[in-house]
Chain A
Amino acid sequence: MSSAASHPAATPEGAHPFPHGHLTGIDGLQPWEIAFLLDEAEQWVALNRAATKHDDRLAGLTQINAFFENSTRTLLSFEIAGKRLGADVVNMHAAQSSVKKGETLLDTAITLNAMRPDIIVMRHGSSGAVQLIADKVDCPVLNAGDGWHEHPTQALLDALTIRRRKGAIAKQRVAICGDILHSRVARSNILALTALGAEVRVVAPPTLMPPAVERLGVTAFTDFDAGLDGCDVVMMLRLQTERMKSGLVPSAREYFALYGLTRERLEKAAPDALVMHPGPMNRGIEIASDIADDLDRSAITEQVEMGVAVRMACLDVLTRKGRGVEGWV
């Protein structure tokens, strides 16, 4: 067997590297398509570290960031990504406007479409809402998070971070820890990391564990220490405070005692285990400050950096067809 054939991330001969009009999720992507986006992102990591961070391949194109749910970090990341590629970036903060109700979502889509954007980046609080819009508009749609469903660029930036820090994703033992049930970050990461050959574990209190999660190809743990055993990567998730109000978690201090990442607990993982968090962090609830700030162990700021690069790659790849790039028309 050739090395290309045995490697799940190698593009098979004759296959298009990314034959999708939208990026609504990791679900439906082939391993080599995920790897292709990561490979594409590398050049943007380099550019973003250069003195002049500019490319003009999206010059003249309009990128609408339609955010139906509040966001600071992701919106900023997409805005910077678009601007560094030369796009005209417009932000629509629908969460703060009159467009709050689902009834107007399709009308909003039709309105946005009429403004002839070249790409729409969308976040919405309902699972499936981005797909609904993608089916209705003429331009590529990039999912920046829909409900509990998917957040594909987060999974890509996490994968890129792991690949750069660990040299590979395949065979890495990764524990995703926290509120798996309500987490689109967890779902996209499970799909991406298992596709790329990692051994994925999920660790959550039983009240925050999705039903039948093992059918997604992961091992589930309710005991944090057992789940951490020998892990190469420990990915912590943010615990929303409303989970305590709705009775899914007894209290912040109990959560931290059972599911908070401390230095002592991190000893269970591999000696060089990498600590990740999609942000924003709740220090003292899911992660202890000294771990979060330990530059040797924590990749949290690097994740943010990789986020811009991965989003640049996605914006570039998704608009290639519209820009008439050879091989993409």
Chain B
Amino acid sequence: MTGLTITGGTLIDPVADEERDGVVHVDDGLIAASEPEFAEPLDATGLHVAPGIVDLGVFAVDLPAFVAGGITRAALMPDQSVPLDEPSLIQRAAASGKPDVWIHPIAAATAGLDGEELAEIGLMQRAGACAVATGKSWIADGSVMLRVLRYAAALDLTVITTAEDAGLAGSAVATDGEASTRLGLAGAPAIAEAIAIARDLMLAEEAGARIHFRNVTTARGFDLIRDAKSRGLPVTCGITPAHLILCDVDIGPYRTFAKLTPPLRSADDRDAALAALADGTIDVIASGHDPQGTEAKRLPYADAEPGMAGAETLLTMSLGLVRDGRITLSRLFALLSSNPARILGIPGGSLDKGSPADIVMFDSDAPWKIDSEKMAASAGNTPFDGLPVQGRIAHVIKGGRLVIDRP
């Protein structure tokens, strides 16, 4: 395989937490220390050169969207039409993206994701599962969750949980507040999240397990995570750009594209999320990619499916956080790439020698407009439709191969 020598760009190194000018050598699918014998030059002048995005939490294998979004590795949530609760399903999912994107399937914690019986977590780990997840819903039975955590801890797997108290959340489609009241939508109190986090933190501590809260969105939730981290517990948490940028007011006149899980929160909670981003409480920004066609979205709000197609807007929306001065570029790529790789225990997230040559190169200033009609994703359900944004991907390299090349 021919190598590559990437010159002229600004390297973003999330591991060293710095930006620097430099050259990246690619040889045999890996990042090399020196120029390979046969190397094609790639001029990255004016571009940023960063490790490919490791997306911790997608709900569909949507390769065109991942490639367009600079996502070189995607952790697939077990919530599939057939839940990923047995080894053969894991094996098949793991092979479904190659060579353009590596899909890292996450094992269902319980059979059928119904929160009752342990799934074959050990066998699924052998088949390639990199973590265990409760799925889109919380495991309501504390004794089942404790078993999952103990079992995963023994196998050295991180447990990824969705924190939303099932009883309080009920059939709610919004967060309790002025917006839910004005729209006449069934709401659940925002503390449904913190209550679930509090329980799961105690159970994880009891089990000695690593736990990752996939999407934390409330002030009370962040307080609990912050406190657990200060006590040295192996706790991490993530969020999506939508929950950092939007709030319940953005549901507007029943915009089902803004119907998400968890539902959009109050402006105060959104501000708390931005604060948690700045102070290091948040470890991961993920797309939560969940494409839903018009037949699932063009419905009365309560009947529409939740979820957004987030993969190809993940980088550009996150770059807005850098532009607003909330985080640095190198910290952004810790959130998008190196932290998720570390949490999942998979390669990637680094430009160091010997790392897989998963690289995204982008012009952080190039303007464009998000258009739900023109997305690469299998459906265009984005709450950011019509938004003018900055940051355009020029090249994506996956395992040493150029999968996007538009200089």
Residues of A within 8 A of B (CB): 27, 102-103, 105-106, 124, 126-129, 131-132, 146-150, 184, 187, 210-213, 215-216
Residue of B nearest to A210 (CB): B181
- Shortest Cβ distance from A130 into B: residue: B300
Knowing A102-B303, A127-B254, A211-B187 are in contact, say whether A132-B181 is a contact too (CB < 8 A): no
Please provide the 8 A-B residue pairs with the shortest distance between their CB atoms, ordered closest to farther: A126-B300, A148-B184, A128-B254, A149-B184, A102-B303, A211-B176, A127-B184, A129-B300
Which residues of chain A are within 8 angstroms of B302 by Cβ–Cβ distance? 126-128, 147
Cross-interface CB contact of A132 among B176, B295, B300, cutoff 8 Å: B300
The 15 listed contacts between A and B (C-beta, < 8 Å) are: A102-B303, A103-B295, A103-B299, A126-B300, A127-B185, A149-B184, A187-B181, A210-B180, A210-B181, A211-B176, A211-B181, A211-B189, A212-B181, A213-B181, A215-B181
Contacts of B184 in A (CB 8 A): 127, 146-150, 184, 187
Instruction: Check A131–B253 contact: CB distance below 8 A.
Output: yes
> In the bound complex, what is the Cα–Cα distance between A132 and B304 (angstroms)?
12
A212 to B253, CA, bound (A): 19
Decide yes or no: A212 and B300 within 8 Å by CB, A103-B295, A127-B254 being known contacts.
no
Contact, CB under 8 Å: B181 / A105: no
Q: How many angstroms from the CA of A126 to the CA of B299 in the assembled complex? A: 9
A150–B184 alpha-carbon span in the complex (Å): 8
Which chain A residue lies CB-closest to B251? A128
Measured CA separation A184–B181 after assembly (Å): 10
**Chain A nearest Cβ from B293, distance in angstroms:** 12
Interface residues on B, range: 20 to 34
Q: What are the interface flags for B221-233 relative to A under an 8 Å C-beta threshold, 1 for contact and 0 otherwise?
A: 0000000000000
Residue of B nearest to A214 (CB): B178
Which listed residue, B178, B298, B303, touches A212 by the CB 8 Å rule? B178
Give residues 289-337 of B contacting A (CB, 8 Å): 295, 298-303
B183: interface (CB < 8 Å): yes
Name the A residues within 8 Å of B185 (CB-CB): 127-128, 148
A103 contact set on B, CB distance < 8 A = 295, 299
Since A124-B300, A128-B300 are in contact, a sample of 18 more A-B pairs with Cβ atoms closer than 8 Å, ordered by chain A residue number, is A27-B182, A102-B303, A105-B300, A106-B298, A126-B303, A127-B254, A128-B183, A128-B253, A128-B302, A148-B184, A149-B184, A187-B184, A211-B176, A211-B178, A211-B180, A212-B176, A213-B181, A216-B178
Q: Please determine whether A132 and B178 come into contact, CB atoms closer than 8 angstroms.
A: no
The total number of A-B Cβ pairs within 8 Å is 69
| Cβ-based interface call for B177 (8 A) | yes
Q: Which chain B residues numbered 30 to 51 have a C-beta less than 8 Å away from chain A? A: none
**Nearest chain A CB to B183 CB, angstrom units:** 6
Q: How distant is the Cα of A42 from the Cα of B400 in the complex, in angstroms?
A: 78
- Complex Cα spacing A106 to B256, Å: 14
> How far, in angstroms, from A148 to B187 measured CA to CA in the complex?
12
CB of A127 within 8 A of CB of B301, answer yes
Enumerate chain A residues within 8 angstroms of B254, measured Cβ to Cβ: 127-128, 131-132
Find out whether the CB atom of B301 lies under 8 angstroms from the CB atom of A215: no
Q: How far is the CB of B176 from chain A (nearest CB, A)?
A: 4
CA distance A127 to B185 in the complex (A): 7
A212 to B174, CA, bound (A): 13
| B299 partner, pick from A102, A146, A147, A212, beta carbons under 8 A | A102
**Chain B nearest CB, measured from A125 CB (Å):** 8
8 Å CB contact of A128 from B177, B295, B301: B301
A residues within 8 A CB of B186?
Answer: 148
Q: Which residue of A lies closest to B173 (CB)?
A: A127
Q: Of residues 215 to 261 in B, which have CB atoms within 8 Å of A's CB atoms?
A: 253-254
Which residues from A are CB-within-8-Å of B295? 103
How many Å lie between the Cα of A153 and that of B180 in the bound state? 22
Min distance, Cβ A118 to any Cβ of chain B, angstroms: 24
Complex Cα spacing A36 to B301, Å: 31
Q: How far is the CA of A225 from the CA of B295 in the complex (A)?
A: 49
Q: A184 — nearest CB in chain B belongs to which residue?
A: B184
Q: Name B296's closest neighbour in chain A (CB-CB).
A: A103
Distance between Cα atoms of A210 and B182 in the complex (Å): 9
Q: B300 and A127: CB pair below 8 A?
A: yes
Q: Mark B164-183, 1 if CB is under 8 A from A, else 0.
A: 00000000000011101111
Q: Which interface residue of A127, A131, A187, A212 has the most chain B CB atoms within 10 A? A: A127
B182: chain A residues at CB < 8 Å are 27, 187, 216
Within the assembled complex, what's the spacing in Å between the Cα atoms of A143 and B368? 39
Docked pose: A127 CA to B176 CA in angstroms: 15
Q: Which B residues between 268 and 304 are near A, CB-CB below 8 angstroms?
A: 295, 298-303
**Please, which residues of chain A bring their CB within 8 A of the CB of B253?**
128, 131
A128 CA / B298 CA spacing, docked (Å): 11
Smallest CB gap from A211: residue in B: B176
Chain B residues with CB below 8 A from A128, complex form: 183, 185, 253-254, 300-302
- Cα of A213 to Cα of B302 in the assembled complex, Å: 20
* Residue of A102, A150, A213 touching B300 (CB-CB under 8 A): A102
Q: Knowing A149-B184, A150-B184, A212-B181 touch, does A126 contact B301 (C-beta < 8 A)?
A: yes
Query: Looking at the complex, which one of A27, A184, A215 makes contact with B178 (CB distance below 8 Å)?
Result: A215
Q: Which of B183, B295, B300 has the most CB of A within 10 A?
A: B300
Inter-subunit contact A127/B183 (CB<8 Å): yes
- Chain A residues positioned under 8 Å from B181 (CB to CB): 187, 210-213, 215-216
> B182, B184, B186, B303 — which one has the most chain A CB atoms within 10 A of its CB?
B184
Nearest-neighbor residue (CB-CB) of A27 within chain B:
B182
In Å, the complex CA distance between A124 and B184 comes to: 13
Using CB atoms, name the residue of chain B closest to A126: B300
Chain B residues whose CB sits within 8 angstroms of the CB of A126 once the complex forms: 300-303
* Minimum distance in angstroms from A149 CB to a CB of chain B: 3
B176 surroundings in chain A (CB, below 8 A): 211-212
User: Inside 8 A of A210's CB, which chain B residues have their CB?
Assistant: 180-181
Residues of B with C-beta under 8 A to A106: 298-299
A212 cross-chain contacts in B, Cβ below 8 A: 176-178, 181
Within 8 A of A (CB), among B176-218: 176-178, 180-187, 189
Q: When chains A and B are docked, how far (Å) is the Cα of A106 from the Cα of B177? A: 29
Determine which residue in B181, B183, B253, B298 has the highest number of CB atoms from chain A within 10 A of its CB, and name it.
Answer: B181
Chain A min CB distance to B161 (Å): 26
CB distance from A67 to the nearest CB of B (A): 15
Chain B minimum-CB-distance residue to A24: B253
Q: Which residues of B contact A102 (CB under 8 A)?
A: 299-300, 303
A213: chain B residues at CB < 8 Å are: 181
Distance in angstroms between the alpha carbons of A213 and B184 in the assembled complex = 11
A51 to chain B, nearest CB (A): 41
Chain B residues closer than 8 Å to A149, beta-carbon distance: 183-184
B303 contacts A211, CB within 8 Å? no
State the CA gap A328–B189 with chains docked (Å): 45
A216 to B177, CA, bound (A): 11
